Chains A and B, each alone.
Chain A
Amino acid sequence: MISSFPAEFCVFVLGIILLLADSFFEKIDKRILAYIAISWLGIFLVAVCFIPLSPLWPVPFGFYETDDLARVFKGFALVATILTLILSLEYAPVVERLIPGSRPGAGLSEYFILPVFTCAGLMWMASAADFVMIFCALELVTISFYIQVAYTRRSMASLEAGTKYLILGALSTGFLVYGITWIYGMTGQTALGGISFVLGNVPVASQTALLFGIGLVLVALGFKVAAAPFQFWVPDVYQGAPTPTTAFLSTASKAAGFVVLMRVIEPFLVAPAIGAKLISALSLLAGLTLIYGNLAALPQTNLKRLLGYSSIAHAGYLLIGVASVGSPFSGRAVVFYLLGYLLMTFLAFLVLIPVAKAAGGDDISHFNGLARRSPSLAFFLLISMLSLAGLPFTVGFLGKFFIFEAAIQQQHLVLVALGIITVACGFYYYLKVVRAMYWQAPPEDAAPIEVSALTRFVAAFLTAAILILGVYPAPLLRLLP
């Protein structure tokens, strides 16, 4: 019986083995690698659910957390990676077309293996409780994303996205390191537990400097979670990146950013003077993000770009939850929201890839008449859009409900009012997709839509999960800290 489970280590080793396998068995169909990765990640997922986590190595003053939050997010990262690999399988023909290679399938293998390394980084990030660890894990994730975003190198959009992501990512890394040094300079600690321990002794005179450091860290994390005004990379990168990478980026990377955010602000709330300023800064970010994300999403005509803006909008709702940190439900609300967001975003991308392949583009107009061309795909996308909009009987509604509940409890009334108005905006732009599918007639020369059985099954599964958890969320809530 295994008493504990070094989860990210196993994932990392899996990635190395897959790389080796790729070099030793040149002739095999590279898709096999993806299937192997999916099945092993599935096994790890079961293990994370049932076996207690173990730290990577025993340390006295925790820079590695193994609490429920870490566990849930390791599971989250695994699920997101599995779904990304399934998307990648569906997307593989496009990747093959867009990268130069001497033989068919060349370069495909890394596209399946890189997400595994990202996954290891994400899982590490979920446990990181020390600024140095947070930094290392974040870099592992970000660097593997740099490659994935620019992976289809014959597509100009992908290259442009890669460059933008690289430059802005590097910039935000700079902010993060600089902020960490300021915090270290004022407290002499990099461990989050240590910071909360010594925070009471920090003299009032150096609190400004400490706040400056926290501010810089917030800016860096703002880049990661795509909070306004640090969101400007999002639309171009999301639209240009290969679609599975977009899905991965908008869920797992964002979720990891939020976990780190929740971990990082926790020690500083001990000092009321700093905590109050931190919460007002977060509220400001939340308000700006809500307004920007929702208003900018209104006129979009490209579904991938729309989903990019919608991911900014959802970051706004999540930030409301983070800003309501005093409420007993707020942490749970944020995590629940993220889990729901994962389900509905991947569902949208699962439908988007085959439709875009058949229609030759991912504009909303390419979805015209989908209800008559493929009723089941249209229904899946309908549920995904309704859940993103926050309609009852979907998991998206309960997420918003918990967030608003926490926010009202913490008297963030302005944020709640903003949230309500922007929800109405959301109905408009998500229903635009529904309108295209159900109101409009399909084009005359529409090509038939081919969907693999695996994609169809996973999409049906996600749809069922969204609807069931929307009525009966108890199983998910029981998992949460």
Chain B
Amino acid sequence: MSPLLPLILLPIVGAAFILIGASARLTALVASATSLLFSLVLLASYQFGGDQPYQFVHSWPIIPAMGISLTLGADGLSLVMLLLTSLVTLAAVAVARTPEKSPHWFYASLLFISAGGLGAFASIDLFFFYMFHELALIPTFLLIGIWGSGDRQAAAWKATIYLALGSFVLLLGLIGLYLIQPDGMRTFDLRAIIGLADAGFLPEANWVYLLLLVGFGILVSLFPFHTWAPQAYASAPAPAAMLHAGVLKKFGLYGLIRIAAPIFPDTVLNGFVAIPMPFGCHPVEIDLANLLLIMLIGNILYVGYVTTAQRKLDLMLGYSSVMHMGYIFLGFAAMNALSLTGASLLLFAHGLSIAALFALSGEIRERTGTLDFAELGGLAKPMPAFGLLFGFAAFAAIGLPGFVGFAGEILVFFGAFVGGDLLMGVTATGKEIFQLNNFQVATVCAAWGVVISALYMLRAYRRIFFGPLSDRWAGLPEISGPARFAIAALIVVMLVTGFFPGLLIKLIESASI
């Protein structure tokens, strides 16, 4: 019996109770608080330096003939993600305002999303890793469609169809990963597949990696598959946006770091895929590493500039959450210990900061009914504490030193700059030239991305909280109660782990990535 099973079942049982008729908000709060406590206890009882990185392992065979079993287990990285999930869930439930329309389904949907995240991060078996993620698809559809704002129906449709398509592409990739294993040894157990890969039993299968990259990429809103995300997050009710942008979107990157990095290290760095052309033309060869670099720079620069052009806070946050995925992809693309650790840290950091920002944006919408920069201004005067919290969250999102995001970005940049073949320096003829390889160019672009994000975040901060105060907003109530506490808690966690990133790095390094 693994303690992870009750951790996953806790929100599901909570949701079932809510649907049967238990008090919705109270049950959701109790369930998410318990699961946070539970994951803290797991974190405390994790033993470093054991010979097995995965602990709390238990396996229930499901389809033995195909090597599918429900195998739960957690190593350092999984634990960090579990902590993130339960923390963001509690915050999301705390800031949620009980809607008038079917409140039971509202809180049950939130808990289902949380269960999907917890299940995915606690699964070692890739089949269930995939299945748990899908558990969140329908609750998201309902949350945006029923309780969303703006053009919620179009946003819900687009996101759901996009995510369904992406997850079936991912499924093909996972089936491919299963079928390239030698007959008779096939399994979905991640540990066994990594073992096979290390022992050289897996053939080169670049198309499997490409399918995984595109499938995960769609789920993480990798450029140019990102168009579902901003609209969906802008329309979603704040708790749904927090959970989806903060936790679920991390699933794809977590999957790449977990699956692609250890199994296809050479393919990620040096793989080619030849696309056959009709009419006897030469097949087009695509360098997978460069392809990923181009896409992630698209995330950072293209989406970054699109973000600066936004006129409303919710859309701006949606685009910014897409943009920040670029850094994490960069950490994955460079594939060295530094950059992967940085990427893992960023998963955690971005999850917390975007959750805090979406929560605050939801609070502003509750108070004013608008998120348009042109209509807002001077809100720090009636609500100083609100302004302070927003400032902290915005700085954390930019990656200011002192927040955990800074530690992650620095590691990613250092790791990516030494990635690839080193071209910088002095050539043999003694003539000094200054050349940058692809990874270094990408890192420079990514560093420019920090400037872009500072630009739009600070501008948003200035337009909403400073400047002349319109009379309409003079009497706005200060942030208070559970929302204030929850957002402050998210910021405190970011500050603590920002000053002592060693806590997280120690956990991540113990993981088998």
Contacts and interface: CB of A to CB of B under 8 A. Distances in A.
Interface string B116-140: 0000000000000011001101100
Interface stretch (A223-231, A289-297, A471-479): A471-479
Given A404-B172, A420-B165, A372 B179 contact: no
A144 interface: no
Contacts of B168: 390, 420, 423-424
Q: Main SS of the interface on chain B?
A: helix
A435 interface: yes
Contact of B138 (A391, A401, A420): A391
Interface string A69-86: 000000000000000000
Interface string A383-395: 0001001111100
B305 interface: no
A392 B164 contact: no
A389 B164 CA distance: 10
B302 interface: no
Interface string B143-172: 001100000010001001100110011011
A260 B151 CA distance: 49
Interface residues of A, number: 32
Interface in B350-385: none
B223 interface: no
Interface in A422-444: 423-424, 427-428, 431, 434-435, 438-439
A302 interface: no
Contact of A408 (B134, B145, B161, B172): B172
Contacts of A423: 164-165, 168
Nearest to B169: A420
B164 A427 contact: yes
A405 B179 contact: yes
B404 to A, nearest CB: 32
Contacts of A472: 62
B175 interface: yes
B138 to A, nearest CB: 6
A403 to B, nearest CB: 11
A207 interface: no
Interface residues of B, number: 31
B272 to A, nearest CB: 19
Contact of B135 (A389, A392, A427): A392
B178 interface: yes
A392 B178 contact: no
B142 interface: yes
Contact of B146 (A393, A397, A439): A439
B176 A408 contact: yes
Max count, chain B CB within 10 A of own CB: residue among A405, A409, A471 = A405
A220 interface: no
A420 B161 CA distance: 12
B225 interface: no
Given A431-B141, A438-B142, A473-B63, A405 B161 contact: no
29 contacts: A372-B102, A391-B137, A391-B138, A392-B135, A393-B134, A397-B134, A401-B175, A404-B175, A405-B179, A408-B172, A409-B179, A420-B169, A421-B165, A423-B168, A424-B161, A424-B164, A424-B168, A427-B164, A431-B141, A431-B157, A434-B138, A434-B141, A435-B145, A438-B142, A438-B145, A438-B146, A473-B62, A474-B64, A477-B63
Given A392-B130, A423-B168, A424-B165, 4 more contacts: A404-B171, A434-B138, A438-B146, A439-B146
